[in-house]
Amino acid sequence: MSLDWPADRALPLFPDIARQIEYANLSAFSSDEQLLLTSLQGLVNRQQPRLYLDWPQRREESDDLINEAWREQLEAKGVQGVDVTSGPFQSIDKYKSNVRGAIVYDVKVPDTINLASTMAGIFDAVLATEELAQRFDIPISRISEVASKTSTSYVWPNVTDRLITAIKPLSTTLYANRTWDTLLKTNSSVTDASNNGTYRIDLTRFINRSNTVYPGYHGVNAIFRDYIVATAAPCVWLDSNRPREAALLDNILHQFQPNTAYLGWVPNGDEMSGVTQLARHGVYVAATDFYFNPTIFSEFRRGDQSQQPSQTESSSRLPLRNSTEIFLSLVYLEGDNIQYNQRRMFTHWNDAARGSVPLGWTISPLLRDIGPGILSYYQATSTENDLLVAGPDGAGYTYPGVWPGGALSVELATLTLIFKL
pLDDT for 307 beyond 50: no
Helix (H) or strand (E) holding 21: strand 20-25
pLDDT at 107 over 60: yes
Q: Helix %, strand %, coil % for the chain, to 5?
A: 40, 15, 45
pLDDT of residue 305: 47
- State what percent of residues in the chain have pLDDT above 90: 61
Decide the pairing of beta strands 80-83 and 101-104: unpaired
Percent of the chain, pLDDT > 70? Answer: 83
Within 58-183, residue ranges assigned H as helices are: 64-76, 90-94, 111-123, 130-135, 143-149, 152-155
Q: Dihedral sign for Cα 242, 243, 249, 250, please.
A: positive
Q: Over the stretch 143-159, which tens digit does the pLDDT of each residue have?
A: 666 655 555 555 667 78
Residue 311 has pLDDT above 50, yes or no: no
Q: What is the pLDDT of residues 327-337, one digit of tens each?
A: 788 888 876 78
For the chain, what are the domain ranges? 311-397
Q: pTM value? A: 0.86
For residue 216, name the pLDDT band (cuts at 50, 70, 90): low
In tens, the pLDDT along 348-377 reads 999 999 999 999 999 998 999 999 999 999
Residues 60, 176: contact at Cβ < 8 Å? yes
